[in-house]
Structure formats: structure tokens, C-alpha cells
Structure 1
Amino acid sequence: MTRLRRLLQAFQILTEAAGKWTWVWLGLLLWQGLLPVGTVYLTKTLVDGLVVALPLGTQGISLLIWPVTGMASLLLLGELGQSALGWVRAYQAERVRDYISLLIHRQSTRLDLAFYETPNYHDQLHQARGEASQRSLALLESWGQLFQNGMSFLSMFVVLSTYALWLPLLLLIGTLPAFYVLLVFNRQHYRWWKETTPERRWTEYYDLMLTQKVVAAEVRIFDLGEHFTTIYQSIRKTLRQQRLRLLRNQSLGRLGASALGLGVSGAAMAWMFWRSLQGLASLGDLALFYQAFNRGQTLMRSLLGSLSEIHQSGLFLENLFTFLQLEPQLQDPKSPKPMPSKLERGIEVEGVYFRYPGSQSWALENLDLFLPAGKFTAIIGDNGAGKSTLIKLLCRFYQPERGRILLDQSKLEEFSVEELRSMITVLFQWPVNYQATVTENIAMGDLKSPIEETRVRAAAVMAGAEETINRLHQRYDTLLGTAFVKGTDLSGGEWQRIALARAFYRQAPIILLDEPTSALDPWAELEWVSRFRKVSEGKTSLLITHRLNLARHADLIYVMRNGQIVESGSHNELLASSGSYAHSWKAQLQQQPIAI
């Protein structure tokens, strides 16, 4: 019952994708399915006509005009129908492929960030994405063949039944072994395909390591090419041998089933020849029987083959439906609180514990801090202290295991996730370098409204990116990145300024910046912080940085270590406390390495 429901769901998806063309497709299939029986009957009429016409010479030509004209007309109509069906199938295929991709892309962006932290999710995504479009199209084709050949087979069934009612049963007996072989090996192939998902993902990973620009330099300097190639080829060899073994066993099974089918066909034809010799059937009957039984056997094999393909495609599409049924853990409340247009009190983090999915160690442990509204707060700390994790929790990408985060004294989970995130603009530690024009790169910070050129330029000025943009050959219309023709690459610092401009383009009351000046030199950094103070005036802003010279400009500074706050205060207050911040500041003045 579950399998049938899945197949009906798949058919619903296919009809939603193709729309009204589904009915055109079914009409053409019905027409193509009924044509063979007309051809078979006209063949009988033509053969019987020839038997009568040949002794009459030219006078017998009139007896052949009708069957010859009819067969020519059916052949012409068949070719026209086949051409129309080919175009409709191509149209359906394109629509289905795009629709399945749309479903997968929407689901991928809908799910929580936590899903991306688990290998199981990546296996499910790979299984859904790797076969979904191909199997959906195969299912569409199989259903079409099942419908068309079903119509033809019913027609042949009627024809054969006029000679003997047991002939259609003989057809079924002759084709059942082939159907059984298909079912068995379909399940074996699906089981192998599912069990080898991790191995196939590893081959994709090593393929990326050998072909992508982002790792090209390191692969060459450390001479990793042969190492990755060897591992890739080793995994592919194992997968190839397993698949070829399956195909060999399937071919042997099919050979045996085909031999049985030929034996049944030979027995049926021998019976019909015997009837002809006894004068119980004419030459036309013999020609009709041969075509009807031969086509019937072919159609029966095709029908069972289509059922097998539908079964196999259903197995693979089960992965698509499983993926589409995944639900985000972070759900909106039934009655979300309205978001404040501006923070009045601020953001409070109280006793928060958090660890990433699958991890046994705490990323944040009993974390307490307060981000006052309208103030500039900085957090400094060593790598792995939990600073970037805090930003992810503030964006509500994850839910703390214990503790709570309050926004103006209301829990974050009391707000709509979408509305909460619209209140926040972020520069992540590793921002994305989009393959798009400068204007598009910046405007991606807020695509809910039409792109405003003045806002784009203002954001570029605030981020210190305007000088870089003005040097480009098409300025704001320059395509960034080198993945496509006419693209222009930027340095790390220049890319960072573009990403920062994107963050500033979204005019949100909460600003979260993770290492915004890591790719800038000290002079550019001082210029940047001066601009940032003006941009963030009246907004609640959080800056994560390793650089004390940048953090000292904040109204409030937190020192973070091992997922906890160990010091807090203004720059002068922290210096007066003679803690780790003060020690590091003195070390910086003496041009010694700084460790917080």
C-alpha cells in the first residue's frame, strides 16, 4: 500500500510539472496503442485479398486498393503521432527535470543548518538529488509505455482469443520468468546503490579535490594529485567491479528467461501451422496470428518490463520523498510575537549550553553575556572559543540545549524565524564570493525589494570598497569571479570589502560581524573602524575579532575562552583589571605575539 501511495505521489508530481500537456500525452499514447491492431487486421485482409486477386491478374487490383490504402494511412498517422509524442515527451522531460530540482532546492534551503552537520543528511541529499530527475523521467516514460502497450495488448488479446482462449494465458506464462528476473535484480541494484552512497560521495569529493581552483595551489605545492587520483581510482574500481558483477548475473538470468519465451512462441506457431494444414485457417489467418502472437509476446514483455521499471523507479524515488518529508526542527510558534522595529533593551544570553550535532564537547558552556541596545560590543578570544557559534545561535540557525537567548526580554523562539533574521545583517567569518556583478553581489544583502543603485553605492562606500570598484573595467557592472567568461577576480581583502558592503546594504537594526577586517592591513583597518562607528550609530552591533586594536573602540568588550566569558568591560576597565586582556594589550605594545 505504501509503495502504491508513493507511485501515486510520483504521478501527481509529474502531472503538476507537465500541467495540461499530460492529457495531450495520454491522448497520443492511446492513439499509438490502438494503431497496431488496425495494422494486424489490414494485414489479414491484404493477404486474403492477394490469394483471391493473384489468379485474376490486373482485374484483381481493385480488391487490394482498400487494404493497401488503409495500411499506408495508418503508417502515416503512426509517424505523425510518433513525432508529436516525441515533442511532448521532450517538453515533459524538461518540465519534470526543472520541477524536481525546484523541490530539492526549496527543501535544502528550508531545512535547519543542523542537517548539514550530519553525514546522514548528505547521504539523503545525494540519494535524492543523484537519481530524482533521471528516475522521474524514467517513471514518466515507463508509465507512458505501460499505457500505450496496455492498449495494444488488450487489442491483441481480443484478436488471439478468437482462435483460442488459452493463447493469452500462454503469452503470460512465456514472459513471467523475464519479469521475475527484472524484479529480483532491480532490488539487488537498488540495495547496492543505496549501500554504496558514502563511497560514491567520496569519489565526488576526490574529483573536486583534483579539479577545483580553491584547492589547486595546495594540491600542487604538496604534490597531492597522484595521492587523490590513486584513492579515487581505487574506490571506482571497487564500485565498477560490484556493478559489473550485478550486470553479469542479470544478463545470465535474462538469457534463460528469453530461451523459455522462445520455446513458448515456437509451440504456439507450430499449433497454428497444424491448423492451417488441416484447412482450419487461411493464409491471412496465419499472417494475422503470427503478427498478433509475436506482437502480443513483445507487448507482454514490454508491459512487464514497464512494471519492473516503475517498481525500480519507485524504489529510487522513495529517497526523494524521504528527503522532501524532512522537517526543520526550528519551527515558528503558532502565534509569533511581533518583531520590534528597534531594540529597546538589547540581547541577553543566559546560561546557554550548546554543542554541534554529533559532537560530545560543548561549543558554549554556561555562557552569559548582554549586548546592550544601540551599543557597539566586541568579543575577542582564541580560535575555538565559541565566538562564531554565538553568532549562529543569535541568527537562530540552532537551538541551545540549555539556557535561553532573549531579545528585548522575549525568547528568540517566540518570534518568527524569517522575521527575526530580517532584523539581522551578518558578515560571516568565511563570506561567500558570488559569481555575479558587483551590484548583484552587494544587493544580495536584501533582495526582497528592487535593487537601489544609490543604496548599493552607499554600502560600498561604508565598506571601503568603492576605490576597488572604481578600478574595475566596468565598475559596478563587472562580473566578479573567474568561473565564467569575462569574470574578474579580487584579492582576499577586496572580496571581504564586497561582502561587508553586502552586509551594510541590508539596513537592519542588529549588525553581527565576524572577523570583518581579517584580510585588511592595519591602516585600512583604522579607516574602516572609523566608518563603522558612523554606520552602526544607534544600532545594536556585535564585532568578533582577534585584533585588540580594533576591539578597543567598542563600548563593551567580552573576552571569551572555552565557550565562556572570562572578562568583560570597556577597554580602560579591562586594562585596569590587569587580566588576560591587559596582558595581551601590553604584549601588543611591545610588538610581541598576542594570545587571548
Structure 2
Amino acid sequence: MNSKLRSANTVLSHLLKTLSLVWSASGYWTLAWIILVLVQGLLPAALISLTPRVVNALVQVSGTGISGASIQKVLVPVGLMAGIMLVGELLNSAAEWIRTAQSELVQDHISGLIHQQSVAVDYGFYEYSEYNDKLNRAREGASGRSLALLESTGSLMQNSVTLLAMAAVLLPYGLWLPTILVISAFPAFFILLYLNKAHYRWSQRTTTDRRWLMYYDYLLTNSTMAAEVRLFDFADYFQSSYQNLRRRLRKEQLKFLKDQTIGRFFAAIIALIITGIALGWMGRQVLLGILTLGDLALFFQAFNQGQNIVKSLLGSLGQIYRNSLFIGNLFEFLQIKPEIINPPNPIPAPSALKQDIKFRQVTFRYPGTQEAVLDNFNLTLPAGKIVAIVGDNGAGKSTLIKLLCRFYDPNSGSIELDGIDLRDFSVKELRRLITVLFQSPIPYYTTAKENIALGDVAAASNQLEIEAAAQASGIHEKISRLPLGYNTMLGKLFPEGTDLSGGQWQRLALARAFFRRAQIIILDEPTSAMDPWAEHDWLERFRSLASGRTAIVITHRFTLAMQADIIHVMRAGQIVESGSHDQLLNLDGLYAQSWRDQMEAGSSTTVKNSLI
């Protein structure tokens, strides 16, 4: 009983939240919809109440010939019925218009909520499979489910009004008739309720499977995968994986449909038997002269339509239950609270870094893992200097970026800007101080100008500053040769787009990073996709580009590390060596050994310039 009560409370809670959400999105359209639903609910009963008048009038004038009096006797009730039917058609057209307007507004509103929440949640959530399941469930028809819940609620309201009117029509013939009318639809309702709950559980259980389907589809259709799929002949393997998974899910879904069909068939047989008993009783009353043919016609219409209405009404309750379960996924997603938040009284972020960035006794492990990436880690990055951080893969270099950008907070210890803990600043203000070129920059399919301006969307898109950033990164000449210069659409996803090479996309991302004009520049492998000539050209300008700012460069390349004022060598989450290039060579440690190994490896520029 307690579980049923909780289930009912959950459905009611989701329904109220959905109605609030729909009202927020569509306001007066929702008010118009409610009024329309109530009026439409009264029309069927109004039509049926006129039926005995029409039938009895026809019986009275039958055989009297065509005359003005006989026609007038029939014309009035028929005219009223025609008027009600005309109003019904008008309301149906209005309802379609209102529902379409509601649908568009609700869809946009819910999409906006999901987009806002997707950005608001912590970066770390994206590394959880469970979070990705929640996101997928929320996105999977969230607006459709909300509108379906609204439609089911509207249908419930309309059918309730109609049923009350029908009961009032049938009540004079006996209290048992409205009662048996309702009872006849209960078998179908309970079958629907059971199957809806079973389908919801199946949907929850197979969320990860459906994400696998999306992943296989992405591998087979996305342009970034096209070359490898063809070269390594992955297509048959991934197609087979997709089809096998689809086959299993399809069989499970078809089984649900089969069970639903069989259940509805047996429910229909029960309803038919009950209807037959009621009709037999009414026929007996007509033969005994207790009721007229008009009464029989009214009863047949009222009972037949009433039974369908009860089915629809209980079906609407079932749909409300089902959709409330699914819409609960949206509300569950929207209730996720980020942990990386602003302090109660944030300290204003400094306009310029004056002293240093310090990692003090920082210990950090990624959520869901036991091994610490950084353990009592200490590092000082002086203001206004170029600092290179080098080391093997997995040493924790990229983790430093994530912590400095406050994508995560340390498990213990602190990270400070000019002696102030990062957690004492507003998250947005802190990130305004930082510009980052990530190791795998994102290609944004928009114009070259907009690509660079995305580095600082809050700033005015000044063409001169955009070009200056492009020149600083070495992409200006390439953009100038494009068909429409800085107004050229980039990428092949949309019409008239022009694609760039990997190194050119990287230099464009560098321009975006420079355009931000932030005090702290973080570059993660900024020249990894550049050829040696492009890299040499960029390195010649690098120190002037970083002038007056604090630059943190994560790199495997000696040519870039040599440009730094200080080089820190990381291994297994700790700084093991620090100094300038010459100092580290003199130290004859890990850095010097790597340098000698590379020099002895031969004259290949790519090998020579890489740190192991």
C-alpha cells in the first residue's frame, strides 16, 4: 500500500511540475487550451441528448406526408444537432492550432532547460556512464513526453466532463447503468497500467544499449571516422554490432506489443459481454412498452459512446502514469546539483596576476577512482613568465589544466592565485582570467571570423583585433586566401564550406585563444599538428605573444620547451626536475637523458623535437 501511495504521489508531483513547466512555456495558450477542452467535453452529451427528440419527432411525422408542420417539427432538433456539430468542427480546428503553438513553445523551453543544465553541471559528470544515461533519458523525447502528458491530461479532463454529462443522461434509466458503464472499462485499464510500467522498466534498463546504438551509428556515418572505417574495413564489424543489438531490442519491444494486443482483446470481450447484457435489458423495456424507440436510440448512443469514453478516460490515466514516469527522467536530470559553485561571498578576481600561481599540497583523484593522479603536489608558476611542463603520458600534466580551470576541485590542498584560493573567486570570473588551447581543439563550423571571435563572446568583434590574433597564430595568410576571406564558412558540414588541415585548425584555435586577451595562457601541445616550418614560424613570435602574461605550456617538443623561462619535468604526479633548458642539461637528469636520446636518434626533425 505504501509503495502504491508513493507511486501515486510521484505521478501527481510530475503532473503538477509538467503543468507548471507548460504554463511557463506557453502561458495564455495553455489557458485557451483548458477552456477548449472543457467546452469540447460537453458537446457529445449535448448531441446525444437531442437524439430522442429527433427520433421521436420522426416517429410522430412518419406516414403523415410532406408538409410545413411536419418538416418544422423535425427541423428544429436536427438544426440544433447540426449547429453543435459545426461548433465541434470549429473547435477541432482551433484545438489543432493551439496544440501546435503549445508544442513549439514547450519544445523550445525544454530544449533550453536541458542545454542550460548540460552546461551548468560539473565537467566531471561527463566522465560518468550513469550521468550520460540520465542525459540521454532526459533528451529522449523530453518535450514529446511533456506534450503527451499534457494531451493525456487534457483528454482526461474532456472525457471526465463528457462522462459526467453521459451519466446524467443515463441516470433516469437506472443508477446501475452508469455504474456498469464504468466497470466495463476497468479490465483494459489495469492491463494498460501493467504494460506501461513494464515498458518503462524496459526503457530504463536498455538506456545504455540505446546509447551504444547511437555510438555505432556515429562511427558509421560521421565524417571524422570515415577514413579509418574504410582503411581498416571496420564497417561490417560495426554494422553487425548495430544490427545484433537492434535485433535483440526489437524482439523485446515486439513482445511487449504482442502482450498488449492479447490483453486488449480479452478486455474487449469482457466489455462486449457487459454491453450485450445492458442492450438486452433495454430491448426488453422497449418490447414491454416502458421505453420508446427514441429512448433506445439515446441509450445505445450514450452507452456505446460512454463506454468508449470510459476506455479513453482510463487510457488517459494510464498514459498519464506512463508519461509521468518518463518525464520524471527530465526532472531528475534538471535536479542534478553541481559541486563546483561560487562561494557565498566571492572575492573579486584580480585584473592582472602580480605574484604567482601556487599548488599547495594538492592531492587529487578522479571521481570513481582510488589512485591519486597528484599526491601532496607542490608547484609555483611565477607571474609574467613562460613555464613549460614536460613529461611522459599519464604524468598528470593535463590534470593541472583541469584543476586550474576549476573543472574539478582538489580532494585536499589548495590552488592559489596571488595567495587567494581559487575557490574564493566566482567560477565565471576565474575562467575569464584564463585562455586555453586544448590538446584536441574543436573545429567550429562557422565563418573564420566567428571562429576566432568565439574566444571572447562577451567582447565586441573588432576586425582589427581578430586579424591581429590570426597573425599571431600564423593563420592570417591562409584565411586571406579563402574565397570570402574572414567571412568564409569553414568545414564541410554545411553548404559552401571550406575545410582546413589539422595544423590550420590548430592555428585557428590558437588565434581564438589569443583573442581572449586573458592574463593566463594555457597551451596544451600547441604545435602538435603543425609541420616543422609552421612551428618554426610560430615559435619566432611566441615570446612576444606571451609578453605581459603568464604562459603555461604543456609540450613534448624540445623546440617549444626551450622557449620557456622555466621547465618543470613531471613524472607519476610529481615535479622531479625544474630549471631552464641549459640548467636541466647541466643537471644531467631525466630531461638531459631524454635530450641526448633524441639527439642520438638521428636527424629527423619530428623525432629530434620530441620529449619522451
Provide the TM-score with structure 2 as the length reference. Answer: 0.95
| Whole-angstrom CA distance in 1 between matches of 2:150 and 2:483 | 49
**582-591 vs 551-560, which moves further:** 582-591
Contact persistence 2:124–2:408 (CA under 8 A): yes
* 2:239 alignment partner in structure 1: 229
Matched, 1:470 2:449: no
Matched, 1:25 2:54: no
* 1:491, distance to aligned residue in structure 2 (A): 0.1
Partner deviation per Cα, 1:486-542 (whole Å, 9 max, x = no partner): 111110011001111111111111111101111112232222123221122111111
* 1:591, distance to aligned residue in structure 2 (A): 4.9
* 2:61 alignment partner in structure 1: 53
Q: Identity across aligned pairs (percent)?
A: 51
Give 3-state SS (helix, strand or coil) of 1:329's partner. coil
Matched, 1:512 2:526: no
* 2:403 alignment partner in structure 1: 393
Matched, 1:37 2:51: no
| Whole-angstrom CA distance in 1 between matches of 2:598 and 2:237 | 42
| Whole-angstrom CA distance in 1 between matches of 2:483 and 2:568 | 43
* 1:382 alignment partner in structure 2: 392
* 1:10 alignment partner in structure 2: 18
| Whole-angstrom CA distance in 1 between matches of 2:271 and 2:468 | 77
Matched, 1:172 2:213: no
Match among 463, 482, 485 for residue 492 of structure 2: 482
* 1:327 alignment partner in structure 2: 337
Matched, 1:586 2:582: no
* 1:245 alignment partner in structure 2: 255
| Whole-angstrom CA distance in 2 between matches of 1:565 and 1:399 | 20
Give 3-state SS (helix, strand or coil) of 1:139's partner. helix
How many residues get paired?
A: 596
Whichever residue aligns with residue 443 of structure 1, its letter is: A
* 2:359 alignment partner in structure 1: 349
The answer for unaligned runs of 5 or more in structure 1 is: none
Within 5 Å, give how 1:70-469 maps onto structure 2.
70-469=80-479
Whichever residue aligns with residue 532 of structure 1, its letter is: F
Give 3-state SS (helix, strand or coil) of 2:111's partner. helix
Partner deviation per Cα, 1:49-85 (whole Å, 9 max, x = no partner): 1111223222211101211211111111111110010
Within 5 Å, give how 1:489-528 maps onto structure 2.
489-528=499-538
| Whole-angstrom CA distance in 2 between matches of 1:441 and 1:229 | 35
Contact persistence 2:558–2:611 (CA under 8 A): no
Partner deviation per Cα, 1:211-256 (whole Å, 9 max, x = no partner): 1111111111111111111111111111111111122112111111
* 1:358, distance to aligned residue in structure 2 (A): 2.4
Within 5 Å, give how 1:550-561 maps onto structure 2.
550-561=560-571
Contact persistence 1:209–1:215 (CA under 8 A): yes
**494-503 vs 354-363, which moves further:** 354-363
* 2:78 alignment partner in structure 1: 68
* 1:306, distance to aligned residue in structure 2 (A): 0.4
Partner deviation per Cα, 1:114-142 (whole Å, 9 max, x = no partner): 10111110111111111312211211111
Partner deviation per Cα, 1:65-112 (whole Å, 9 max, x = no partner): 211211111111111110010111111111111211111111011011
Moved over 3 A (4+): 586-596
Whichever residue aligns with residue 355 of structure 2, its letter is: R
| Whole-angstrom CA distance in 2 between matches of 1:173 and 1:384 | 68
| Whole-angstrom CA distance in 1 between matches of 2:185 and 2:459 | 62
The answer for unaligned runs of 5 or more in structure 2 is: 1-8
* 1:574, distance to aligned residue in structure 2 (A): 1.2
* 1:434, distance to aligned residue in structure 2 (A): 0.8
| Whole-angstrom CA distance in 1 between matches of 2:246 and 2:597 | 54
* 2:575 alignment partner in structure 1: 565
| Whole-angstrom CA distance in 2 between matches of 1:490 and 1:484 | 14
Contact persistence 2:357–2:383 (CA under 8 A): yes
**494-503 vs 344-353, which moves further:** 344-353
* 1:595, distance to aligned residue in structure 2 (A): 4.3
**362-371 vs 536-545, which moves further:** 362-371
Matched, 1:546 2:560: no
Within 5 Å, give how 1:529-544 maps onto structure 2.
529-544=539-554
| Whole-angstrom CA distance in 2 between matches of 1:384 and 1:452 | 40
Partner deviation per Cα, 1:339-382 (whole Å, 9 max, x = no partner): 11011111001222222222333322332211111111111112
Contact persistence 2:557–2:611 (CA under 8 A): no
RMSD between aligned residues = 1.3
Give 3-state SS (helix, strand or coil) of 2:269's partner. helix
Partner deviation per Cα, 1:419-461 (whole Å, 9 max, x = no partner): 1011111100011101111111111111123322222112111
* 2:5 alignment partner in structure 1: none
Provide the TM-score with structure 1 as the length reference. Answer: 0.98
* 1:590, distance to aligned residue in structure 2 (A): 4.1
Give 3-state SS (helix, strand or coil) of 1:567's partner. strand
Whichever residue aligns with residue 461 of structure 1, its letter is: Q
